[in-house]
Amino acid sequence: MTDMYADTFHKLEALKETFSDNLELGHVLTKLLSVVLNQYQLRLERCARDLREYEERYGMNTPTFHGRFDRGELGDSADFFEWDGLYDLHQDLTKKIRRLESAL
C-alpha cells in the first residue's frame, strides 16, 4: 500500500511541476474530474436501470426491499443478494458523484 501511495504522490508531484501555473493545473484537474464524474454517472444510470428491473419483477421499491432483506424477511435468493449488492453500489456511486461534483 505504501508503494501505491508513493506512486500516486509521485504522479501528483510530476503534474504540479509540469504545470507550474496553478490555474493551468486547475484546468487539467477539472477535466480529469469531469471525465471520472461522467464515468460514474453512466455506471449509476446502468445501476438504476438494473434496480428498476428488480423492482418491477418483485413489486417493491428498492429501499423497502433493502430494509426487509436486512431484517431477514425475504430469504436467501441469489436475486436478492444481487439486488442488495446493486443497492449498495448505487449508494456508493451516489456518494462519489456528490463528492466529485463538490470538487468541481
**What global pTM score does this model have?**
0.82
CA distances (Å), 81 to each of 46, 54, 56, 77, 87, in order? Answer: 18, 11, 16, 7, 10
User: Longest Cα pair distance anywhere in the chain, in angstroms?
Assistant: 58
* Predicted pLDDT of residue 55: 98
Looking at residue 62, its pLDDT comes to 98
Predicted confidence at residue 12, as pLDDT, reads 85
Q: Are 87 and 62 in contact (CB under 8 A)?
A: yes
pLDDT in tens, the chain (104 residues): 568 778 888 988 888 889 888 899 899 999 999 999 999 999 999 999 999 999 999 999 999 999 999 999 999 999 999 999 999 999 999 999 999 999 99
